[in-house]
Amino acid sequence: MTNNAVKVTKETKNKIRVEFERTSAWKKFKLKYLSLNFLGMAIFKIFRLVLLIGISYVILYPFFTKIASSFMSPTDFVDVTVKLIPKAPTLNTYKQIIIENHYFQALFNTLMISLLCGVIQTFICCVIGYGFAKYRFKGSKILFLLVVLTMIVPHQTIRYSMFMKFRYFDIGYFNFGILKLFGDLDGISLVNTFIPLIVLSVFGLAFKNGLYIFMMRQFFKNVPDELEESAYIDGSGTFRTFIQIILPLSVPMMITIFLFAFSWQWTDNFYTSTSMFFPGRNEILLSKIVQIPKTLDTNYAGGNQFSDAIRNTCGLLIIAPLIVVYLFCQKFLVQGIERSGITG
Amino acid sequence: MNNTKAALKQTAPKKKKRKIVSLDKKKARSGWFFVAPFVIGLLIIYLPIVLDSIVLTFNSTKTVRGQGVQLTFIGLDNYKTALLDDPNFVQTLTSGLRQLVIDIPAIVIFSLFIAVLLNQKMVGRAAFRAIFFIPVILSTGLIAEIDASNSLNQYMSGNTGIETGENIGSSASDIISAADVSILFSSMSVGSGLVQTITDLVNDVYNIINRSGVQMLIFLAGLQSIDPAIYESCSIDGATSWETFWKITFPMISPMILVNTIYTVIDSFTSADNTVMNFINNYYNSTSMVVSSAMAWIYFIIVFAIVAVVAGVLSAYIFYQRRD
Instruction: Give residue B156's pLDDT.
Output: 46
B31, B52, B162 ranked by CB distance to A135: nearest:
B31
| CA dihedral angle for residue A107, residue A109, residue A110, residue A115, rounded to 10 degrees | 120
Q: What is the pTM of this model?
A: 0.80
In angstroms, the Cα distances linking A150 to A15, A146, A181, A322, B57 are: 71, 6, 29, 27, 19
Residue of B nearest to A137 (CA): B28
For residue B162, pLDDT beyond 80: no
Distances (CA, A) of A330 to A53, A92, A335, B153: 19, 32, 9, 26
Least Cα distance to B119 among A237, A278, A48 occurs for A48
pLDDT digits (tens, 9 = 90+) for A160-217: 888 888 877 777 665 566 666 666 566 677 778 888 888 889 988 888 888 888 888 8
Instruction: Give the burial class of B179: count Cβ atoms within 10 A of its Cβ; 0-12 exposed, 13-18 middle, 19 or more buried.
Output: exposed
Lowest mean pLDDT among B77-81, B133-137, B182-186, B281-285: B182-186
Q: B115 with B220: CB under 8 angstroms?
A: yes
Q: Is the model more confident about A195 or about A338?
A: A195
How far is Cα B219 from Cα B250, in angstroms, rounded to an integer? 11
Residue A219, pLDDT above cutoff 50 = yes
Contacts of A65 in chain B (CB under 8 A): 152-153, 156-157
Distance CA A199, CA B38 (A): 11
Record: contact A330-B27, CB cut-off 8 A: no
pLDDT value, residue B85: 79
Per residue in B195-211, pLDDT (tens digit) is 777 777 777 777 788 88
Does the pLDDT at position A7 exceed 50?
A: yes
The whole-number average pLDDT for the span B304-324 is: 78
Which of A59, A140, A323 should one mutate to test binding to chain B, selecting the residue with the greatest count of B CBs within 10 A? A59
B55 to chain A: closest CA residue:
A174
- How high is the pLDDT of residue B164? 35
Calculate how close chain A gets to B66, using CA atoms only, in Å: 6
A91 to chain B, minimum CA–CA distance in Å?
A: 19
Q: What is the pLDDT of residues B31-49, one digit of tens each?
A: 888 888 899 888 888 888 8
B183 band by pLDDT with thresholds 50, 70 and 90: low
In terms of pLDDT, which residue wins out, B309 or A22? B309
pLDDT for the residue numbered B236: 92
Residue bearing the bigger pLDDT, B182 or B51: B51
| Mean pLDDT confidence for A68-97 | 78
B48, closest residue in chain A (CA to CA): A173
The answer to which of A11-25, A84-98, B16-30, B223-237 has the lowest mean pLDDT is B16-30
* Residue-averaged pLDDT of chain B: 76
Does residue B293 carry a pLDDT above 70?
A: yes
Query: What was the pLDDT predicted at B112?
Result: 92
Cα dist. B289→A157, A162, B119, B246, B294 in Å?
11, 12, 46, 49, 9
In angstroms, the CA A105 to CA A230 distance is: 50
| Distance (Å, whole) CA B162 – CA B173 | 12
Distance CA B24, CA B31 (A): 10
Residues of B within 8 A of A264 (CB-CB) are: 140-141
Q: What's the rounded mean pLDDT across residues A72-94?
A: 77
Is the CB of residue A126 less than 8 Å from the CB of residue A247?
Answer: yes
At residue A118, the pLDDT reads: 92
3-state SS track over A150-180: HHHCCCCCCHHHHHHHHHCECCEECCEEHHH
Going by C-alpha positions, the residue among A185, A156, A180, A171 that lies closest to residue A276 is: A156
What mean pLDDT is predicted for residues A230-253? 86
pLDDT band at B170 (very low <50, low <70, confident <90, very high): very low
What's the whole-number mean pLDDT along residues B172-196?
A: 62
Check residue A35 and give left, alpha or beta (phi > 0: left; psi -120 to 50: alpha).
Answer: beta
Complex ipTM over 0.85: no
The size of the A-B interface in CB pairs under 8 A is: 289
CA-to-CA separations, A319 to A133, A325, B104, B132, B298, in angstroms, rounded: 35, 10, 28, 17, 35
Residue A220 has pLDDT above 70, yes or no: yes
Topology at the third CATH level for domain B81-150+189-317: MetI-like fold (1.10.3720)
Candidates B33, B68, B163; nearest CB to A186: B68
Q: Which residue has the higher pLDDT, A341 or B286?
A: B286
pLDDT at B89 over 90: no
Q: What is the pLDDT of residues B95-126, one digit of tens each?
A: 888 888 888 888 999 999 999 998 888 888 88
Which has more pLDDT, B265 or B186?
Answer: B265
Q: With contact defined as beta carbons under 8 Å apart, do A233 and B106 qualify?
A: no
**With a CB-CB cutoff of 8 Å, which residues 180-239 of chain B face chain A?**
205-206, 209-210, 217-218, 220-222, 224-225
In this prediction, residue A123 carries a pLDDT of 93
Residue B182, pLDDT > 80, answer: no
- Bridge partners (DSSP) of residue A17 are A9
CB pairs under 8 A, 24+ apart, for B61-68?
B61/B289, B61/B290, B66/A185, B66/A186, B67/A185, B67/A186, B68/A168, B68/A185, B68/A186, B68/A187
Residue A120's pLDDT band (cuts 50, 70, 90)? very high
- Write out residues 107-166 of B within 8 Å (CB-CB) of A: 114, 117-118, 120, 122, 126, 128-138, 140-143, 145-147, 149-153, 155-157, 161-165
The pLDDT-based confidence of A254 (bands split at 50, 70, 90) is confident
Q: Angle B213-224/B250-270 helices, nearest 10 degrees?
A: 160
> Residue A309's pLDDT is what?
80
pLDDT for the residue numbered B184? 67
Tell me whether strands A172-173 and B59-64 are parallel, antiparallel or unpaired.
unpaired
Nearest to B142 among A51, A146, A286 (CB): A286
For chain B, which residues make up each domain, given as ranges?
A: 81-150+189-317
Residues of A whose CB is below 8 A from B258:
344
pLDDT value for B6: 53
pLDDT for the residue numbered B275:
79
- In percent, the amount of chain A with pLDDT more than 70 equals 87
Q: Which residues pair with A176 in a beta bridge?
A: A173
pLDDT of residue B163: 36
pLDDT at site B311 = 83
Binary contact (A152, B44; C-beta < 8 A): no
Q: What is the pLDDT of residue A121?
A: 93
Check residue A128 and give its pLDDT: 92
Task: Mark yes or no for CB contact B117/A132 under 8 Å.
Answer: no
Cβ–Cβ under 8 Å, residues B150 and A274: no
* Interface subset of B 245-264, CB within 8 angstroms of A: 255-256, 258-259, 262-263
